[in-house]
Structure 1
Amino acid sequence: MSLNMPLMMLVINVSIVAVLWFGGLQSWNGSLPVCQLIAIINYITQLLMSILMLSNMLTFFSRAKVSADRENEVFSTISEITDVDSAKKDSIHHGRIVFDNVSFSYGSTDDNLVLDGINFTAEPGETMAILGATGAGKSTLVSLIPRLYEVSSGSITIDGSDTRKIALEDLRRRRGYVMQQSILFSGTIRDNIRYGRPEATDEEVEQAADFDCAGVINSANYPHHGRQY
């Protein structure tokens, strides 16, 4: 692809020089009027420009292929976090979350723990703020609840059930997650509110739109002015 533009410019310039050389000799001998020579040059330039634009499309095809290969690689990736054989369903009713001596590191053999010995309890209806400097592990801690990451040691329980023994679909459908950076997808606001739960009724969509950031709504993924961990 790096040779595409220089090669095409060389072809264009050589073609114009060839037309001027041979056409100029014929015009000098009187067999080719100057007006026709200029017309030929214009036609050749338009033709070569079209070929140049076509060659530039090869660059877009190359980029598209790389992007498609990357997407297929992501889609074919098998998650390391899966349900156990005895995964529970409908075990979350109130939402009492307990962190019991939770530690986490991004590598299985990494001794540099991001979280080390975390203990706290979040009662239903309670608002809890987790403060810390950038990179302290706030987002990582929250991501452990829906098992976007797996704890290295310790346990996280919801209503007394270990999250590792709760079915992933049930675990992730029964919590709301407001990202730090809100993203709107193309479509209506209603479609964006329904993103996490396409089958939601209009009443549930309106309830989510009016919902206060201090509460919890099941499976609602919607941009909100509040920030809560």
Structure 2
Amino acid sequence: MLSKFRPVLIGLLVLQVASAILALAYGDFLFKSGSAGLGAIILLLLLSGRSFRTPDLWMVIGAFLFSIVGDYFLSHRNGDTLWFVYGIFFFFLAHIGYLAYSLFHGQVAWKTTLVVCAAYLIFFFTSLYGGIGDPLLMWAALAYLLVSCLSLGAAVGIKKAGWPKLGYTFGIALILFSDTLIALAEFMQYNRWDFLILPTYYLAHIAITWALWKRFTAEEPA
């Protein structure tokens, strides 16, 4: 029963928020990994509060862990293009996890996906493409763009409406928004909105964690 874990879950969620704030203040990688790492711990506690194991939740735990690895490569690349590609690869795997969770609970909303993909492909080839000099980085960025749009479309396609769906979809949308700002900074040297990159990224993890907690709370027997 989740009730016995509630104080611990609340404490971990507070720590998740605090870790994000400290990451913004100090930039230490330990704090930077806290939003995803503590999110994964919260989800593990949600799993332990069930009488069965749910593979969909493991997909999100995996996504959080892959995000930490991806963030490590991006935070320590020091201008190395290959490390940038490694970072994109692990964030790609994270989106596969988010996508898998959504597909456990619905299907891809293809109209939304096609509209978002069309908009981002136009953005990619008209604005970003010219600023990517390395072919490997170009293909990695394009593949990541496509899986990000598909991940958002799948979140929109989750069947059961309510706060768990809204929170989860909001979290995926925030990741896409944060990545868009990164692309503007990296490939177009447009840095006006850089201050939003990390806050939206950390908030995405918090929103996804909260959404799944709400889902499990709603499913608890009275």
TM-score over 0.5 for the pair: no
TM-score normalised per structure 2: 0.24
- Greater percentage in strand: 1
TM-score normalised per structure 1: 0.24
1 or 2 for the larger relative contact order (CA 8 Å, sep ≥6)?
A: 2
